[in-house]
Structure 1
Amino acid sequence: MSTIPNPADQSTLDQMRPPEFVELLLPDCNGLLRGKRVEGDKLHKVYKNGINLPLSTLACEITGECNEDSGLGLDIGDKDTFCYPIPGSLASIDWNSRPSAQLLLDIVDESGKSFTGNPRVVLQHCLERINAMGFYPVIAVELEFFLLDQNNTTSGAPQPPINPASGQRDDNTQVYYLADLESYSDFIEDVRQTAKAQNIPAEAAVAEYAPGQFEINVSHSDDILKACDEAILLKRVIKSVARKHNFQATFMAKPYADTAGSGTHIHISLLDKDGNNVFAAPEGEPTEAMQHALGGLQQTMRDAMLMFAPNANSYRRFQKDSYVPMNPHWSYNNRTVALRIPYSDEANTRIEHRVAGADANPYLVVAAVLAGITTGLENKLDCTPAIEGNAYEKTQATNPRHWQEAIALFADSEWAKEAFGETFHNLFCCIKNSEMEVFHSQITPLEFDWYLNSV
């Protein structure tokens, strides 16, 4: 096989079995991985010449249909453009029967520049903006998910898996219960080993607040784009390893009506040019930078909600006393608020952003967090006083509770258009408006139950 021009990827290739095929991956606006598969001996040509994919790949709705209102489909002849490898993203895959690998792609526009509707590019621009102010973020991504039985119920609903240790179906909640980790240790260890083979720093698996629910974290990093690449790819690892162990894995925000939902939590601190954490302060004494960061996150949260909760099901999570925040308040060491300052030593002071669902695109979640913080720092916004005690009892819900409201707020937001660019803003609005129209055109079983014979 010819030499690959990127040294890191060549080193990775040298350490793996020669792949028979390579999966070329382009995450779309919903965070779904789309792309092509090429024979392994053609990999050097991908690095040299790129590959063709249509821009409409990024205009796909959750159903896979191209959104024609975006102008990226038939209006421009559904034409191809070039995609190029993202350096350092080549990794082996061990869940296929044949030796294989995967590689992330960037897609360019007609001018040869990265397409500004690409969520990864949106994040890059948000990062550049905060870097220009002399601030350098460090983030960690926490991903919650459910393991499910491979077979749904007779009504088509998901159901918890059969516990490998007990042979019984899981039906109770044991948060942080080590026995649950032991019961699913083969699956968790397989995830860890597979992630390690792909250079994804996965760590700190815990049993969460519902049957079959777990959390696996991506280690903190100052390489923000790579951290979000790793989060996207970790989702793929978890789903693929789950199939090997005869489970389904889902990042659906709320698969069960009567249990907790799944979130994507972002831990973020800011460093100055000398590497000092500008949030570092004793508990109860937020620095000026932290006050402004919190103020920006609070002020922009409603406008950004569609990026944190992008789907109809996303809004099922937002229920009182469910460890899901209902408004933009903050506090120290308090899981009832949206913006939590975790218990830590002073040097590791950070904000935990607890709003996004597990179904959200990590690139867009982090982009919205960075943009909110940047807004606060640029405008020296003040935050509200910290909440003491149970925020569900002491505050009113002000975040959007419904998909339609969040779409309208995002569409009307001049801040969102400026922060994320007109190309992405228009594309995301088109996709989500179309998905909402299709969703609301369906007649649900509950409607038959309520109305068929009663009205």
Structure 2
Amino acid sequence: MSDWLNSLPSAARAYLESTGLDEVECVIADFPGIARGKAVPAGKFQRLTHFHLPNSIFYQTITGDWGEEAAQDGFTEPDMILRPDMETATAAPWADDGTLQVIHDAFDQAGDPIPLAPRNVLKRVVELYRAQGWEPIVAPEMEFYLVGRNTDPAKEIVPMMGRTGRPAAARQAYSLTAVDEYGPVIDDIYHFAEVQGFEIDGITQEGGAGQVEINLRHGDPVKLADEIFYFKRLIREAALKRDCFATFMAKPIEGEPGSAMHIHHSVSDAEGRNLFTGEDGAETDAFFHFIGGLQQHLPSVVALLAPYVNSYRRYVKDHAAPINLEWGRDNRTTGIRIPVSDPASRRVENRIAGMDCNPYLGIAASLACGYLGLRDKLRPHELFDGDAYEAEDAIPRGIYAALEQFDAAKDMHEVLHPEFARVYSIVKATEYDEFLQVISPWEREHLLLNV
């Protein structure tokens, strides 16, 4: 192997030793979290130090349209410089030939990080922590559905067919038998993850028909966001291999629970001690300040945690998605949960984020709320005891209302970056306008002849 191949992560080297290398996919995440970039022959990649893409990839909506007014100097599409982060190099084990994927970071032509790039947004938030001598740690949970192939958007999404010849059953949370129904897909997910060097902490059946949860080990926020970015593609490929679809929509099936990306947080000091736990094992002021930051600032970033009109279909009372900002101990009805743990592992779980969010932006937004709580020494409301579904709603219930709160949150803009906040809001508003041009079956059923 040449020098650059020898410097790859061990999993990538092991993969290439068995397959050889034909192609490198140079990728970067846009606002929705779609992998954009270029595929280049291995020989050409070896000679490259960077490549170019237009900055307009960050002006695109999920439909492929453009928020052209986001470009203040006119829609000229200047090139960004994309440089590889070789620590992210990993296999694409579903490819026919030896293929590596490498995440790239985006810079302008002066060499400064592009503030619109979601990975740069998260890096900015992490650096704010480190400037204070803090090290943020996250552990994400990914929920998703395995569904039947859906090639006609006019048709409802249905659960995938299990090995028994029946559709995957709902309301079978934590059932190992239910997981066995789609065992081949799970086996491929494990296999692809192992080849790519990713460690899965556990896989469980959730409450929905064909709904699965994958837990990842705790660690560095950027590294974990990279893994979720890769995992979404990995899981989709495993599903396609078994003639079904994997979807990360927040609410793909009517009447079934939505899919969340629960985020567990802790913060350590320079010596690696958990800031949330004192020397006597008790909860610290920092622990309460972090919770206070989530309570005060989460409403302003719901537009990042729930970025689509479909996202708000998940926020239904008594359907496993809290719409409150209460905090509770080992209470899954609260929006902010304190899991059972020993003092050294004390952490705070944000249960508001949807699995449809961009992992870089979702984790950045959640950490930004905690950062502002720590910085400003915010205090939380009193501990909630009981069923928090009876508590007061505390988050915006639609994308337009969420964007209004996001636009007004100037302190949050300074943490994430004002230019990112400006462009993100324009792109999401454009996306909402696109949605409003589509007439739904509900409208045709109930309004056509009745109004």
Normalised to the residue count of structure 2, the TM-score between the two structures is 0.95
**Aligned equivalents of 1:125 and 1:154: distance in 2?**
38
Q: What is the SS of the residue equivalent to 1:264? A: coil
Q: Partner of 1:123 in structure 2?
A: 122
- CA displacement, residues 374-433 of structure 1 (integer Å, 9 cap, x when unaligned): 11111111111111010012x111211111100111112212221111110011011101
Give the direction of change, closer, same or farther, for the CA distance of 1:10–1:353 in structure 2 (3 Å limit). Answer: closer
**Aligned equivalents of 1:332 and 1:381: distance in 2?**
19
Deviates more, 1:405-414 or 1:441-450: 441-450
How much has 1:19 moved relative to structure 2?
2.1
2:261 aligned with 1:259: no
Amino acid at match of 1:177: S
**Aligned equivalents of 1:90 and 1:254: distance in 2?**
32
Equivalences for residues 123-202 of structure 1 within 5 A: 123-151=122-150, 155-164=154-163, 166-202=164-200
Give the direction of change, closer, same or farther, for the CA distance of 1:162–1:15 in structure 2 (3 Å limit). Answer: closer
**Aligned equivalents of 1:380 and 1:178: distance in 2?**
44
Q: Partner of 1:63 in structure 2?
A: 63
Q: Partner of 2:76 in structure 1?
A: 77
Kept in 1, the 8 Å contact 2:170–2:207? The answer is no
2:421 aligned with 1:425: yes
2:290 aligned with 1:293: yes
Kept in 1, the 8 Å contact 2:169–2:178? The answer is no
How much has 1:81 moved relative to structure 2?
2.4
- CA displacement, residues 284-327 of structure 1 (integer Å, 9 cap, x when unaligned): 96321111110011100111111110110000011111121112
- CA displacement, residues 319-358 of structure 1 (integer Å, 9 cap, x when unaligned): 1111211121101000001110101122111111110101
**Aligned equivalents of 1:280 and 1:336: distance in 2?**
24
Q: What is the SS of the residue equivalent to 1:8? A: coil
How much has 1:3 moved relative to structure 2?
3.5
Kept in 2, the 8 Å contact 1:281–1:349? The answer is no
**Aligned equivalents of 1:408 and 1:133: distance in 2?**
31
**Aligned equivalents of 1:3 and 1:70: distance in 2?**
42
How much has 1:282 moved relative to structure 2?
11
Q: What is the SS of the residue equivalent to 1:4? A: helix
**Aligned equivalents of 1:80 and 1:10: distance in 2?**
33
Uncovered stretches (5+) of structure 2, i.e. residues with no partner? none
Q: What is the SS of the residue equivalent to 2:124? A: helix
Q: What is the SS of the residue equivalent to 2:4? A: coil
Give the direction of change, closer, same or farther, for the CA distance of 1:344–1:51 in structure 2 (3 Å limit). Answer: same
Q: Partner of 2:299 in structure 1?
A: 302
Kept in 1, the 8 Å contact 2:147–2:210? The answer is yes
Q: What is the SS of the residue equivalent to 1:38? A: strand
**Aligned equivalents of 2:280 and 2:212: distance in 1?**
29
Q: What is the SS of the residue equivalent to 2:286? A: helix
Equivalences for residues 21-60 of structure 1 within 5 A: 21-46=23-48, 48=49, 50-60=50-60
Give the direction of change, closer, same or farther, for the CA distance of 1:253–1:284 in structure 2 (3 Å limit). Answer: farther
Give the direction of change, closer, same or farther, for the CA distance of 1:13–1:429 in structure 2 (3 Å limit). Answer: same
Kept in 2, the 8 Å contact 1:172–1:210? The answer is yes
2:4 aligned with 1:4: yes
**Aligned equivalents of 1:43 and 1:167: distance in 2?**
46
Which residue among 232, 235, 238 is the counterpart of 2:235?
238
% identical aligned pairs: 33
Q: Partner of 2:329 in structure 1?
A: 332
- CA displacement, residues 258-299 of structure 1 (integer Å, 9 cap, x when unaligned): 110000011111111111112136999632111111001110
Q: What is the SS of the residue equivalent to 2:86? A: coil
**Aligned equivalents of 1:386 and 1:220: distance in 2?**
25
Kept in 1, the 8 Å contact 2:90–2:102? The answer is yes
Give the direction of change, closer, same or farther, for the CA distance of 1:153–1:281 in structure 2 (3 Å limit). Answer: farther
Amino acid at match of 1:174: Q
Q: What is the SS of the residue equivalent to 1:52? A: strand
2:208 aligned with 1:210: yes
Amino acid at match of 2:69: D
Amino acid at match of 2:188: D
How much has 1:187 moved relative to structure 2?
1.4
Deviates more, 1:243-252 or 1:369-378: 369-378
Which residue among 393, 398, 420 is the counterpart of 2:394?
398
How large is the Cα RMSD of the aligned pairs? 2.1
**Aligned equivalents of 1:110 and 1:135: distance in 2?**
31
- CA displacement, residues 170-202 of structure 1 (integer Å, 9 cap, x when unaligned): 243200001112222221121112112112222
Equivalences for residues 271-282 of structure 1 within 5 A: 271-280=268-277
**Aligned equivalents of 1:272 and 1:2: distance in 2?**
39
2:270 aligned with 1:268: no
Amino acid at match of 1:269: S
Give the direction of change, closer, same or farther, for the CA distance of 1:154–1:134 in structure 2 (3 Å limit). Answer: closer
Aligned length: 449
**Aligned equivalents of 2:141 and 2:223: distance in 1?**
15
- CA displacement, residues 49-95 of structure 1 (integer Å, 9 cap, x when unaligned): x11111111222101223211108x9252232221101311111111
Give the direction of change, closer, same or farther, for the CA distance of 1:99–1:326 in structure 2 (3 Å limit). Answer: same
Amino acid at match of 1:22: V
Kept in 2, the 8 Å contact 1:122–1:421? The answer is yes
Kept in 2, the 8 Å contact 1:294–1:376? The answer is yes
